[in-house]
């Protein structure tokens, strides 16, 4: 199951932790977000133990999306050792995201 990122845990889980983290910024009312949701869940399972894959609801978490300039959703950030190494806005395929993640492992 995909990890639930929040404003409160983002620093500890995505920025301070070594390794790769994938953050899907989404909202309940967003159609494209609902399309990519199952892909994020599958990636969380596929990369379990290697990558922290999760979602952040932009309606209940305002600080982190604002800090990273998230204006359109879904926005997917890939971070490595706390630094943004890739970004994707909009819907994409599971394979395209997996390739981006693998490039940073």
Catalytic residues: 30, 33
Q: Exposure pattern of 7-30 as b/e (b: 16+ CB <10 Å)?
A: eeebeebbeeeeebbbbbbbeeeb
Report the C-alpha dihedral over residues 88, 58, 82, 4, rounded to 10 degrees.
Answer: -110
The residues facing 23 across adjacent strands are 54, 77
* Secondary structure letter of residue 38 according to DSSP: H
């Amino acid at each position: 199951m995909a990890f639930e990122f929040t404003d409160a845990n983002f620093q500890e889980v995505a920025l301070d932790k070594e390794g790769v983290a994938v953050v899907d910024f989404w909202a309940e009312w967003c159609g494209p977000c609902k399309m990519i949701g199952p892909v994020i869940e599958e990636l969380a399972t596929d990369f379990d133990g290697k990558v922290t894959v999760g979602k952040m609801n932009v309606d209940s978490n305002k600080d982190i999306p604002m800090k990273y300039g998230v204006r359109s959703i879904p926005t997917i950030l890939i971070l490595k050792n706390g630094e943004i190494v890739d970004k994707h806005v909009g819907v994409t395929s599971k394979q395209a995201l997996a390739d981006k993640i693998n490039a940073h492992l």
